[in-house]
C-alpha cells in the first residue's frame, strides 16, 4: 500500500509523537509498504512560539497538494493539527479523498496551561478538525471516551510500543546514579510548564530527584530546585540506563494522552508513580505502579511495587502491535469482515 503521513511533528524533535511515527513508518516499510512523510523540513518554517523545537511550516493547500498528487497515495494519515495538517485536510476534503487523523495531545488542556484561553474554545477547533476524518486514532480507551463526549465517535486504537532490545531490566544503572542517595526518583521528558514537573520537584519523599530532558523551564527550575539533578537530554543506552537505574519513575503530567516514557520505564523494571488521569490510568495495573491525587502518596506506594511486575507489564507493548493497529485503522471499513481480517496483517503489502 502507498501510505502518506502528514505531520507537523518530525525530526529533529524528540518526543513521543515523533518516535511513534518513526517506529511505525520503519515497520511499515519493512513490511513492504511504500510510505511518504510530508513534514516541516520540506518547507520554509519558523519556530513555534514558546516551543521552538517545533517548526511551523509555510505551506498551503497547493504546495501540500502537489506533493500528495505526486505520491498518489492509497491512504492519507494526518497526524497533527498544525499548518501541514490543515493544508492536507483542505486538500483531502476538496478532492473527496478519505483520510485518518490522530489525537496525540490533549490540546485544549495543553494550550490552557500556556495561554489564557478557555479549553472550551480549543475544543471547537478540535471537533471541527477531526470530524471529517474516517477514523481518529487514539492511544487509550479513556481518550476515546473523552472524544466521544465531544461528539467524535469514529475512534480506533493506536497504542504505543517499546524497543525491548534497548529498554530492558538488566541494564546497569547510569553512572551518574552511583553516588546519589536512594531511592532515586526519575522524570524523563520535556522540561516545560505543561508537563507539571513542579508537582514532582516539590514532593517530600526522601532520596534523590533526577530530571532527564530539556525545554524552556530549564532556564529557571535548576535554580529553584538546586537539590535536583538535571542530566539534560539522554538517548539510547544512556537513557535506558537511567530508567533501569532509578527506583521509581514519576510521571506528573495531567495533559498527555499516553506517556510513551511510562512504558519505557516499565520495560526497564521501574515502577511508576502518577496522577489518576488518562494515560497513566489506562496503562498502570496493580503491582506495576501507583496512582494518587496526592503525588507523595503515589511515590511512596510505587516504591513498594515489585520490579518484576513492572517489567511484565512493559513487555506487553511492542512496536509491531502498534504498527498493526495503525494499518488496521487505515484500511478497516465497519461491517466488512473481510476487510477487517485483511487489515490485521500489516506485513502483507497491498
**Are the folds of 2-161+318-343 and 175-314 the same?**
yes
Q: Which DSSP helix (H) or strand (E) runs through 100?
A: strand 99-102
Nearest to 227 by CA among 250, 252, 202, 248: 202
CB of 311 within 8 A of CB of 333? no
Q: Which residues, other chains included, contact 139 with Cβ-Cβ below 8 Å and sequence gap of 6+?
A: 104, 157, 158, 159, 160, 257, 258, 279, 282
pLDDT at 120: 86
Reported as type and span, the H/E element at residue 4 is strand 2-6
- Identify the pLDDT of residue 298: 97
Per-residue pLDDT tens listing for the chain (350 residues): 999 999 998 888 778 899 999 999 999 999 999 999 999 989 887 776 666 666 677 787 899 999 999 999 999 999 999 899 999 999 999 999 999 999 987 666 666 656 667 888 889 999 999 999 999 999 999 999 999 999 999 999 999 999 999 999 999 999 999 999 999 999 999 998 889 999 999 999 999 999 999 999 999 999 999 999 999 999 999 999 999 999 999 999 998 889 999 999 999 999 999 999 989 999 998 799 999 999 999 999 999 999 999 999 999 999 999 999 999 999 864 334 444 444 445 555 44
Check residue 346 and give its pLDDT: 52
* pLDDT computed for residue 339 by the predictor: 46
All residues at 6 or more sequence positions from 115 whose CB lies less than 8 Å from its CB, including other chains: none
| Predicted local distance difference test score (pLDDT) of residue 16 | 86
Question: What is the predicted pLDDT for the residue at 338?
Answer: 43
Determine contact, residues 36/4, Cβ cutoff 8 Å: yes
Domain boundaries, the chain: 2-161+318-343, 175-314
Q: How is residue 346 written as a grid cell?
A: 500489516
CATH code that applies to domain 2-161+318-343: 3.40.50.2000
- Domain 175-314, CATH homologous superfamily name and number: Glycogen Phosphorylase B; (3.40.50.2000)
Amino acid at each position: 500500500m502507498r501510505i502518506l503521513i502528514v505531520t507537523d511533528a518530525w525530526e529533529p524533535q524528540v518526543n513521543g509523537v515523533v518516535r511513534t511515527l518513526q517506529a511505525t513508518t520503519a515497520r511499515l516499510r519493512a513490511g513492504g509498504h511504500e510510505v511518504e512523510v510530508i513534514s516541516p523540513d520540506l518547507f520554509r518554517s519558523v519556530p513555534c512560539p514558546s516551543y521552538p523545537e517545533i517548526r511551523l511550516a509555510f505551506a498551503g493547500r497547493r504546495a501540500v497538494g502537489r506533493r500528495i498528487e505526486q505520491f498518489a497515495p492509497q491512504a492519507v494519515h494526518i497526524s497533527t493539527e498544525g499548518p501541514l495538517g490543515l493544508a492536507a485536510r483542505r486538500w483531502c476534503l476538496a478532492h473527496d479523498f478519505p483520510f485518518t487523523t490522530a489525537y496525540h495531545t490533549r490540546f485544549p488542556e495543553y494550550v490552557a496551561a500556556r495561554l489564557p484561553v478557555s479549553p472550551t474554545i480549543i475544543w471547537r477547533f478540535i471537533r471541527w478538525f477531526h470530524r471529517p476524518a474516517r477514523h481518529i486514532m487514539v492511544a487509550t480507551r479513556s481518550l476515546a471516551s473523552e472524544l466521544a463526549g465531544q461528539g467524535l465517535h469514529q475512534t480506533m486504537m493506536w497504542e504505543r510500543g517499546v524497543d525491548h532490545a534497548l529498554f530492558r531490566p538488566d541494564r546497569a544503572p547510569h553512572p551518574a546514579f552511583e553516588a546519589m542517595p536512594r531511592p532515586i526518583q526519575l522524570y524523563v521528558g520535556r522540561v516545560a510548564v505543561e508537563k507539571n514537573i513542579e508537582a514532582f520537584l516539590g514532593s517530600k519523599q526522601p532520596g534523590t530527584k533526577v530530571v532527564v530532558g530539556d525545554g524552556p523551564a530549564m532556564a529557571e527550575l535548576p535554580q529553584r530546585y538546586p537539590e535536583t539533578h538535571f542530566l539534560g537530554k539522554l538517548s539510547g543506552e544512556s537513557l535506558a540506563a537511567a530508567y533501569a537505574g532509578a527506583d521509581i519513575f514519576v510521571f506528573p503530567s495531567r495533559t498527555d494522552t499516553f506517556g510513551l516514557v511510562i512504558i519505557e520505564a516499565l520495560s526497564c523494571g521501574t515502577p511508576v508513580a502518577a496522577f489518576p488521569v488518562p494515560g497513566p490510568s489506562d496503562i498502570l495495573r496493580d503491582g506495576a505502579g501507583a496512582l494518587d491525587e496526592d503525588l507523595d502518596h503515589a511515590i511512596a506506594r510505587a516504591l513498594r511495587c515489585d520490579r518484576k511486575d513492572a517489567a511484565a507489564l512493559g513487555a506487553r507493548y511492542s512496536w509491531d502491535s502498534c504498527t498493526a493497529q495503525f494499518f488496521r485503522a487505515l484500511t478497516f471499513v465497519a461491517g466488512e469482515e473481510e476487510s477487517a481480517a485483511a487489515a490485521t496483517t500489516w506485513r502483507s503489502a497491498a
